[in-house]
Amino acid sequence: GAVVSQHPSWVICKSGTSVKIECRSLDFQATTMFWYRQFPKQSLMLMATSNEGSKATYEQGVEKDKFLINHASLTLSTLTVTSAHPEDSSFYICSATPGTSSDNEQFFGPGTRLTVL
Amino acid sequence: EDKVVQSPLSLVVHEGDTVTLNCSYEVTNFRSLLWYKQEKKAPTFLFMLTSSGIEKKSGRLSSILDKKELFSILNITATQTGDSAVYLCAVNTGTASKLTFGTGTRLQVTL
């Protein structure tokens, strides 16, 4: 149980285009999903917290107009990188947590590797 | 600003050795500390620690938390090549399960 999937696994796109990444909880309802970014040989940096039916909460320094997050259902959150540039190339990982307790475990997706040419 | 620091950054050991990975933290609101193993993809959960002094064990891996000194250690005994990975420490600061991750320790186990 507690499986989180991401789609696509990897994507290469041209500079200036937009890319949508999906995060799905397959066997549980995720009231909260998190989006992280990981640069090579660095740790996971939280970008935003996504709650079903409400606006995402972005971390300091993350542009909300550039990284659009939609959490339209209890099993799906999407991250859209708008007008992507080479510096947006990174490994994007989502995680999902059931329930509303702050002690709930986060289950991680397999990640999406984005390369912007 | 919440901070999680891991040491060492990188480590190479021979198969069979025992290693200890360190994680120290400074956060305004502590709820739990978690250890993850990351190979090529997303992190996989190892342990969650909430109380000081209680060792959690899973096979050759064990971990303990010291809430007074604000650190945790992850021990791996009789290391195997399959233990090669990045080990991440994260602290749950209680704001809707938000995790602050450390820099990670890259472990390489050689034959």
Cα A113 to Cα A38: distance, rounded to the nearest angstrom: 9
Cα B1 to Cα A77: distance, rounded to the nearest angstrom: 27
Per-residue pLDDT of chain B (111 residues; tens, 9 = 90+): 889 999 999 999 999 999 999 999 999 889 899 999 999 888 898 999 998 999 999 999 999 999 999 999 999 999 999 999 999 999 998 766 788 999 899 999 999
Instruction: Select from B45, B88, B103 the Cβ nearest to the Cβ of A105.
Output: B45
Confirm or reject contact between A98 and chain B (CB < 8 A): no
- % of chain A residues with pLDDT over 70: 94
Cα B8 to Cα B55: distance, rounded to the nearest angstrom: 21
pLDDT digits (tens, 9 = 90+) for A66-103: 999 998 888 999 999 999 999 999 999 999 988 665 56
Distance (Å) of CA A32 to CA A20, A27, B77: 19, 14, 36
Q: What residues of chain B lie within 8 A of the CB of A104, using their CB?
A: 97
Cα A28 to Cα B81: distance, rounded to the nearest angstrom: 34
Say which residues have a Cβ less than 8 Å from residue A54's Cβ, sequence separation at least 6.
A71
**Residue A114: what pLDDT?**
95
Q: Taking CB atoms and an 8 Å limit, are B98 and A34 in contact across chains?
A: yes
Sort B109 into a burial class: Cβ within 10 Å, 0-12 / 13-18 / 19+. buried
Q: Is A86 helix (H, G, I), strand (E, B) or coil?
A: helix
Residue to test with chain A: of B25, B97, B105, B106, most A Cβ within 10 A: B97
Q: How far is CA A6 from the centre of its chain?
A: 9
Total beta-carbon pairs less than 8 A apart between chain A and chain B:
57
Cα A51 to Cα A98: distance, rounded to the nearest angstrom: 11
HSE-up of residue B36 (Cα within 13 Å, Cβ side): 25
Confirm or reject contact between A5 and chain B (CB < 8 A): no
Is residue A91 within 8 A of residue A11, CB to CB? The reply is no
* d(CA A68, nearest CA chain B) in Å: 19
Among chain A residues, the shortest Cα distance to B102 is held by: A43
C-alpha torsion sign, points B49, B92, A96, A99: positive
- B-contacting residues of A 10-39, CB under 8 Å? 32, 34, 36
Q: Taking CB atoms and an 8 Å limit, are A110 and B42 in contact across chains?
A: yes
